Amino acid sequence: MFDNAKTKYASDQVIISALSGDEDTSRETALVAARAADDRKADNILVLRVSEVSYLADYFVIVTGFSQAQLRAISQAISDQVELELQRPPLRIEGQNDGNWVLMDYGDVIVHILLPEERDFYKLEAFWGHAERVRWQS
């Protein structure tokens, strides 16, 4: 019983730490994720600062991959690079094994990795079109 309580406490501390990150850490996480996606040949990489228009996160990173294998490779590259550079593992990853849309949640940054059909259908850029677009370099 004590081990479960200790694990829950540690988990809660990681979540609190991620959610209370400062603007610079959030921005750097988004930029590292964008560069890692670019290294894995992701297409149409977009970084949006959504903190002014949403309480969900500070930044969204939206990228396109062209196969489920590439989606997995992109998400693994992002996870590895963000952890290497910023010591931040994702809080959750959804859709990595069988999805057409992988979602990586860092608390203050949410990364969306989609197949072209999914990206065209859901039109996240249009839905969050009033958010600030952030310039980044590979």
Two tokens at 36?
A: 């890692």
Tell me the C-alpha distance between 62 and 136, whole Å.
13
The domain locations on the chain are 5-134
Identify whether the C-beta of residue 109 lies closer than 8 Å to the C-beta of residue 125.
no
Quote the pLDDT of residue 2: 43
Quote the pLDDT of residue 20: 47
Quote the pLDDT of residue 77: 98
Give, for all 138 residues of the chain, the pLDDT tens digit: 444 444 444 444 444 444 445 789 999 999 999 999 999 999 999 999 999 888 889 999 999 999 999 999 999 999 999 999 999 999 999 998 888 999 999 999 999 999 999 999 999 999 998 899 999 988
Distances (CA, A) of 63 to 13, 87, 116, 124: 29, 22, 9, 10
Name which of 53, 93, 54 is nearest 77 in CA terms.
Answer: 93
